[in-house]
Chains A and B, each alone.
Chain A
């Protein structure tokens, strides 16, 4: 039984800590998945994410662990987005993002296992930003947090450890694993090293 299945088992058993862990880990990621697909309408994104997570709760017993829990949540969220937009008759406003394309979606969903194909994409810097964020969201939540604290907020390893409730050595180790996972994720999407991606985008 993998980590996702264990978390689902604990949720079904009524484990309070499992619910907190589930919400903390997945709510922000599903929200970020929904927001850009709904023209950044915060209220609509809230409704969609709430409906997604409620449907996920109702379907927990049917989760078999055949895909990652986040992938499963994204599938529910996609259907919910389509339903909401249909209700609001705003289908024409729908934003189609690069990671909605089957190729990119497949790669993003297989980040934990290296991709067999090496697609190359030529997009602008806004798309690069979206892909970076999408890759961060596919990593374990603490990896994404650690990388943001280090490279975006400029925190020291000690501060990262304090924030995540772990010691200095553990924080260093976590950061190292997070960098590797992020680099692998970017390479899976772009079929190129991070340095080459930067060059390609002229960053």
Chain B
């Protein structure tokens, strides 16, 4: 048999193998579109974060060169010799910064990086949401002041700060500590609030756990607890993750971009922002939620308001019930 004949026989065998095996499974177009929307959204977020980090690095380099000139140093809001440690993501009302303890307070616009050694403050009517270089989210309540002492250390000088390390890469998020006159708070993958009132520090833990290093020794707290720390010691009490005391945190939550995201993803975000878990009435409802792709925007709505807004567009019945976001079939 010639080589050509062998080749032809082999090609026939390949054709038969393929024909006998039949076509491969093809995912449905709607399923592919839904997965693509979710993956694309994640990809865009990752690219944006990388570009933001790159801009910060570039900006720091440019500012570093400019800082050599004293005149420029005086007019620039940030000192170029110090690395950017955070960015103001959103602000409700006027948020200000200053470049050192004796400098004047100046307005700070959303999107502006903040350098090590600078401090920011909110007024009696404003709130701020920041993202640290490590990805840890930090929010400031009304009349609060925070100084960025080091890359992973900030000092709460007045008011209250909320820390959420849940969306930050674990390797980076773990090192952040919040210093106060009453103690230094370190976290383990968590959401917590530290509030200064008179000479007392109140630490409320919404998720995970924290360790507080006080002059009297280290204490730990877990989700659902709040610790009042003063010169007499530590007093513990309960504070559910969905307690109204957390409401200010939602009022300055950066908006979740729902366009192209599934209802499941939105509910996961809303649950985290409202301190609740998601309770699906059945596996079918849970699958339905994963299939629903959202359109539009919830910009300007608080997380609890956005749940109601999204619910009205999905055909499912979604409502708050204590510590749960209940999701039921729309037929109920």
Contact surface of A with B, Cβ cutoff 8 Å = 11-14, 19, 23, 27-28, 31-32, 35, 42-43, 46-47, 49-50, 53-54, 57-58, 60-61, 125, 128-129, 132-133, 136-137, 144, 147-148, 150-153, 179, 182-183, 186, 193-195, 197-198, 203
Contact = CB atoms under 8 A, between A and B. Distances in A.
B61 interface: no
Contact of A129 (B21, B38, B40): B21
B13 A128 contact: no
A interface, over-half SS: helix
B299 interface: no
Nearest to B26: A28
Contacts of A182: 14, 18
Nearest to A186: B17
A26 B293 CA distance: 21
Q: Is the interface of B mostly helix, strand, loop or mixed?
A: helix
Contacts of B47: 11-14
A148 B23 contact: yes
The 7 closest A-B pairs by CB, nearest first: A132-B21, A194-B13, A195-B13, A151-B18, A14-B47, A53-B39, A129-B21
B21 A23 contact: no
A11 to B, nearest CB: 7
Contacts of B11: 179
Interface of B: 9-28, 31-32, 34-36, 38-40, 42-44, 46-47, 50-51, 287, 290-291
Given A57-B46, A129-B20, A194-B17, A183 B10 contact: yes
A144 B26 CA distance: 13
A13 B9 CA distance: 47
A35 B32 CA distance: 14
A14 B18 contact: no
B8 to A, nearest CB: 11
Contacts of B17: 128, 132, 186, 194, 197-198, 203
A137 B46 contact: no
Contacts of A58: 42, 46
Given A23-B39, A43-B291, 7 more contacts: A14-B47, A132-B20, A148-B18, A150-B15, A151-B15, A152-B19, A198-B17
A53 B14 contact: no
B18 A43 contact: no
Contacts of A183: 10, 14
Contact of A47 (B20, B24, B290): B290
Which of B9, B19, B47 has the most A CB atoms < 10 Å from its CB? B47
A133 B35 contact: no
Contacts of A49: 35
A179 B31 contact: no
B42 A133 contact: no
Contacts of A203: 16-17, 20
Nearest to B31: A46
Nearest to B28: A42
B138 to A, nearest CB: 22
A54 B20 contact: no
